[in-house]
Amino acid sequence: MIKEFCIYPLGSQVAKNAFKFPKNSFLFFGPKGTGKTHAAIAVAQHADALFIDLSTKNLERFTTKEEIQKIFATAWRVAKQNQPAVIYFDNVESIFPGKYKGLVKDPLAKV
């Protein structure tokens, strides 16, 4: 699925047109240690794409909202100019705390 939905459309305009996806983003969700980061890196490598890592560990030194906004805007500009590109977020809930609280429920939680 990763090849069909991520790598082929990212690496080839022909494949992208053939699959006709309305979105150019994908969410890997799961418990820690399941390979989400490795999957994102593999997608970028196989598609010969630029990999931009906007994980919290790389954003720790930026403390104001304006600095974070500037980093994100720059990342999108660089990605647009250097396509194909993969912009990777890890622990996005700590970048935007409380913004989506309660919106996404843990599918592994007991009901």
Helix or strand or coil: residue 27? coil
For residue 3, pLDDT over 90 is answered with no
Evaluate if pTM is beyond 0.85: no
Q: pLDDT tier at 75 (50, 70, 90 boundaries)?
A: very high
Domain 2-95 has CATH 1.10.10.60: no
Q: What is the pLDDT of residue 103?
A: 47
Return the bridge partners of 102, or none: none
pLDDT in tens, 81-93: 998 888 888 876 6
Return the bridge partners of 52, or none: 87
Q: How far apart are CA 44 and CA 87, in angstroms?
A: 9
Contact 84, 91 (CB under 8 A): no
Q: What is the pLDDT of residue 53?
A: 92
